[in-house]
Amino acid sequence: MPRGEKKNLRVPLDPHLHERLVAQAQRVRAPVTTVAREAIEAWTAEQERRAQHEAIQAYAEAMAGSGADLDEALEAAAARECLDATS
């Protein structure tokens, strides 16, 4: 999205949640819209991180034991290195 261009979103909130949002905005001395935008950005980033983790995990599970899996010598060397680092 070009810099400065914004899209508006109307989000009906439960009155209690709205009060909490306003209170936090007042606490940090920021506009309610800024606090809401930052919360949405943080939530979206977390969802993207989780999706990436799940995709990597699914790939690792699918490839376990296949030719794409780590070879045993490399895996053993990594395990030894981890054990040596904690000793």
Query: What's the pLDDT tens digit per position in 33-80?
Result: 999 999 999 999 999 999 999 999 999 889 888 877 777 888 889 899
Interatomic CA distance for residues 69 and 51, integer angstroms: 22
The per-residue pLDDT for 71 is 78
21 within some domain: yes
Q: Answer whether residue 1 shows pLDDT above 70.
A: no
41 within some domain: yes
The per-residue pLDDT for 80 is 92
Q: What's the number of CA atoms in the CB half-sphere (13 Å) around residue 76?
A: 3
Interatomic CA distance for residues 84 and 78, integer angstroms: 10
4 within some domain: no
46 within some domain: yes
How far, in Å, are 5, 13, 24, 71 from residue 29 at the CA level? Answer: 24, 21, 8, 55
7 within some domain: no
36 within some domain: yes
pLDDT-derived band at 3 (thresholds 50, 70, 90) equals confident
Q: Answer whether residue 11 shows pLDDT above 80.
A: yes
10 within some domain: no
71 within some domain: yes
User: Based on the structure, what is the number of domains in the chain?
Assistant: 1
Instruction: State the distance between the two ends of the chain, measured CA to CA, in whole angstroms.
Output: 51
Interatomic CA distance for residues 54 and 61, integer angstroms: 10
Domain of residue 68 covers 15-86
pTM as predicted: 0.68
